[in-house]
Amino acid sequence: MRLTILLSLIISSLVGFSQKQKEKKNEKPKLVIGIVVDQMRYDYLTRYWDKYGEGGFKKLINGGFNCKNTNYNYMPTYTGPGHASIYTGTTPENHGIIANNWYNKVLNRGTYCTGDSNVNTIGSESLNGKMSPKNLLSTTITDELKLATNNRGKVIGMSIKDRGAILPAGHKADAAYWFDGGDVGKWISSTFYMEDLPSWVQKINEKNNPDKYLQTTWETLYPIETYTESIADDNKYEGTFNGEKAPVFPHDLPALRDSNYNYSLIKSTPYGNTILKELALAAIKEEKLGQDEFADFLTVSFSSPDYIGHQYGPMSIEMEDTYLRLDKDIEEMMTYLENNFEKNEVLIFLTADHGAVNVPQYLIDNNMPAGYFELGDFKTGLNEFLKGKYKSDSIVANVSNYQVFLNHKYIAKVGLDVISIENDIARFGLSQSGVSKVVTASGLRSTEFSDGILANAQRGFHQVRSGDVLFVLESGWIPAGYSTGTTHGSPYSYDTHVPLLWYGSGVKKGESDKYIVIPDIAATVAAILEIQTPSACTGVPIQKAIK
């Protein structure tokens, strides 16, 4: 009798354990959606909070986990390195995407982060599809999902920008789609992924939704006098579309198309976000994402805020209106997911690839530190300095991305000392107005910086691809040429502090002010999916956000 009872208890316990294990297994998401907003500062969440609806940003924050102190821990903070870092879980020193474009020291010419002359465009006759992830030197979390599922989990990337679609999707993606502007106005891909566009993408292209939106006028979503979080609509700090006399609402898009590269105009309006949202929802439906036992991954990068920010700046009504409209696009995505999935079936994270500085002239006019760095004058002065000391104008091969590349072949030929030249350039750089810090490649190779701006510079330094001397501008300074609007790329908080929101499967409700770095995102997704982290991952899982 006792033996029977004991066996019954053991069997019951094993059944219960098996059921708990099954429930635990079922908690893993069937679909992961990674959302990146191009040029989104953290304060856009708080500044426009009262105007957001309940179903977009607020739903992600109130129903999910808000990492309020998430930062990029390297420089330069550009689109290519940002997307690569989010999905590889590491920084440019390891994944190799050191900028959007960089000087190739071996080939003595420029390299674009996703350029690939060995593939061809799919979906149009242009050259804008000659792209692939070949320059990315680490696996991505999307690659690791493909490996973990033996290619049975689907991975699809999409963005207005090619680099915003390709780098997140990784090397093993089923597809990546980006927008071909100009006179094309279609979603395209490359032969790296496919031989023809899927029929559902072809149908979307045939609908020509971009044309529909470009036949409308961009008005503010709400009465313009309510946009009190922004400065006056007509001001000297904002750029204009070609053909406009002032940077003010309404923006007559039909009248502006011909003088603004036709379909490319939509990139610089909130409707660029809308057409991407439409593509994303179609992909979930037509590709049947999240419909089987193998997790799928959709990466969506909203690029239009970056185009709009560059033109108008962070304090503009255009920027505010863009985020209020993006909030509604995200709400539509959330509603679709709620209607078609259980909450524990979908994991969503939302972050940004970088922030942006306030327009420097606006800061100057408000008695704040800022300025414009004359790169042309810097190059001329540097060459004159080196010629005076070394009696040669062949010392420098290139200056770009706040880096000086030396002509090593010439230096070796004439028997000069590289370290001495690096140090001389560093001393010259520190004498220039607007330069805050300078560090040499020799210094970065021999010293490990644990924190601060020089540590950020080191994490952005790739020993094979980066230059020989790196310089950092003062806070608030940007390259001259941006007389209106803004840019990004610095190691300062306005460029590095970005949102990070988690929602859905495996996520706790809550928030944290703990310092988080961007590489932690891929490590956290790997922990929730219970798969390997990317090959060069330096991030750690955000334990407070995980159930």
Residues annotated as part of the active site: 79
* Rounded distance between C-alpha atoms, residue 155 and residue 404, angstroms: 38
Query: Quick one: which H or E segment has residue 277?
Result: helix 271-286
**Pairing state between β 70-71 and 497-498:** antiparallel
- What burial class does residue 4 get, using C-beta atoms within 10 Å of its C-beta: 0-12 exposed, 13-18 middle, 19+ buried? exposed
CA 178, 83, 81 angle in degrees (round to 5)? 115
- What burial class does residue 15 get, using C-beta atoms within 10 Å of its C-beta: 0-12 exposed, 13-18 middle, 19+ buried? exposed
* Token representation of residue 442: 């020799």
Strand blocks (E) in 153-193: 155-159, 175-180, 186-190
**Coil vs helix vs strand at 89:** coil
Query: Quick one: which H or E segment has residue 110?
Result: strand 109-112
* Rounded distance between C-alpha atoms, residue 254 and residue 215, angstroms: 5
* Rounded distance between C-alpha atoms, residue 110 and residue 119, angstroms: 18
User: 318: closest CA among 190, 390, 218?
Assistant: 218
- The 8-class DSSP code of residue 267 comes to G
